[in-house]
Amino acid sequence: MRANGRRTTLADIAQAAGVSVATVSKVVNGRGDVAPHTRARVQELLHQHDYLAPVFRHTEAVESPTIEVQFQGGLKSYVAETLEGIVDAAAELGASVVVSKASSAPHWARDLVSAGRRAVIAVTSVYTAAHLNELARSGLPLVVLDPLHLPDSRVHSVGATNFAGGLAATRYLLSLGHRRIAYLGGPAMAVCNQARMHGYRAALEAEGAQVPEAYVRPGEFTYETGLLGATELLGLDERPTAIFAGNDEIALGVIETARARGLRIPEDLSVVGFDDTSLARMASPPLTTVRQPLREMGGAALRTALRLAGGEKAESHHVELATELVVRASTAPPRGR
């Protein structure tokens, strides 16, 4: 914005940079045929003048919008399967997808606009108020997949019925005759983890089964949490006969720890996971788990992002897809039943 209140134009930027309007337009739209030093100069001026390129200004952008997909941490099975759903939906709808690690660099959102991105999809990424403010200033819509924290009112999100999944997993273990059932989950404050844990507690309380404090343990959604958490749980004087894990990676860690202690799965310990990634199907024995429709969630996120990028309203700020219990060989009635 100029000092007189008039919105900065491409011509203003071109004049300040000493280049043509066409060159500035190429930088704004992410074209590659601009010298690096010229691109850097133009981008710096765009930042200084708070220039925002209107979404879908050019015909080619409408025909093939580009969506930025960001994630944090490693490219784990959960992320990979979600990305597959995003990419498949993009191919079907004629959109392009660029995958990157989440960034906190200055002006990162404006750089995405300059590169021609029209919306951002976040997978397993934690966005702070500063991130959201940067996105708002840039005009980029944000869609969060399976949010770890309660979404801001400015954020659209796609998730699954985590409470119902936790309820179904625990009810199934109860139906097998288990009463000493532990929950080994992810971060204590993560919304998805809390919902799964509350489903677990609700099922046990409905049956009048006790939930000892030592049976509920938070951690991270990692294999290491399964290894360490199961070591503590299986070392209790009255160890659980079944463990409901917050995701498939944790469940695999539980299985490994149980084996190291000489316990058989499922004869001595039943294990249930959450997600139904490829890990669940490749586990030995194959893992009983709660299926999150990961590919469908990715597709829903992509469609929501395109809708928002096109200036349309999304049907809902938060969309939840149904989970489903998938029974395999890692669960059985407790010994002696």
What residues form DSSP beta bridges with 68?
Answer: 98, 120
Look at residue 236 and tell me if it is in a domain. Answer: yes
Same domain, 284 and 299: no
Same domain, 63 and 154: yes
Nearest CA-CA partner of 258 in 235, 277, 238, 281:
235
Radius of gyration, CA atoms only, the chain: 24
Contact call for residues 20 and 26 (beta carbons, < 8 A):
no
The dihedral through the CA atoms of 110, 115, 143, 226 has a sign that is negative
Same domain, 257 and 237: yes
Contact call for residues 76 and 223 (beta carbons, < 8 A):
no
The structure tokens 């819509």 sit at 141
The CATH number covering residue 4 comes to 1.10.260.40
Same domain, 73 and 153: yes
Look at residue 326 and tell me if it is in a domain. Answer: no
- pLDDT in single tens digits along all 337 residues of the chain: 455 555 677 778 888 888 887 787 777 766 666 787 888 888 888 777 766 555 444 334 345 789 999 988 777 899 999 999 999 999 988 899 999 988 777 788 888 998 899 999 999 777 777 888 888 888 899 999 988 776 667 789 999 999 999 999 999 999 999 999 999 999 998 999 999 999 999 999 999 998 999 999 999 999 999 999 999 999 999 999 999 999 999 999 999 999 999 999 999 999 999 999 999 999 999 999 999 999 999 999 999 999 999 888 887 888 999 999 999 999 999 987 6
The CATH number covering residue 282 comes to 3.40.50.2300
The structure tokens 């010994």 sit at 335
Nearest CA-CA partner of 128 in 157, 148, 98:
148
Q: Tally the C-alpha atoms within 13 A of residue 67's C-alpha that lie toward its C-beta.
A: 34
Look at residue 331 and tell me if it is in a domain. Answer: no
Ramachandran quadrant class, 336 (left: phi over 0; alpha: psi -120 to 50; beta: rest) = left
Same domain, 236 and 312: no
What residues form DSSP beta bridges with 145?
Answer: 123, 158
Same domain, 123 and 197: no
Look at residue 327 and tell me if it is in a domain. Answer: no
Same domain, 156 and 11: no
Q: Compute, in degrees rounded to 10, the torsion defined by CA atoms 238, 188, 286, 168.
A: 80
Same domain, 174 and 281: yes
Same domain, 167 and 261: yes
Contact call for residues 297 and 321 (beta carbons, < 8 A):
yes
Q: What six digits make up the tokens of 307? A: 């809708």
pTM for this entry: 0.80
Q: What six digits make up the tokens of 288? A: 């009983």
Cα three-residue angle 63-67-68, rounded to 5 degrees: 155
The structure tokens 């580009």 sit at 66
φ/ψ of residue 282, rounded to 5: -90, -10
Cα separation of the two ends of the chain:
74
Look at residue 330 and tell me if it is in a domain. Answer: no
Contact call for residues 285 and 331 (beta carbons, < 8 A):
no
Whole-number Cα distances in Å, 23 to 32, 58, 109, 297: 11, 15, 21, 39
Same domain, 175 and 66: no
Look at residue 333 and tell me if it is in a domain. Answer: no
What is the extent of the structural domain holding 82? 59-160+295-321
Q: How many structural domains are present in the chain?
A: 3
Same domain, 271 and 179: yes
Contact call for residues 82 and 295 (beta carbons, < 8 A):
yes
Look at residue 328 and tell me if it is in a domain. Answer: no
Same domain, 219 and 263: yes
Look at residue 277 and tell me if it is in a domain. Answer: yes
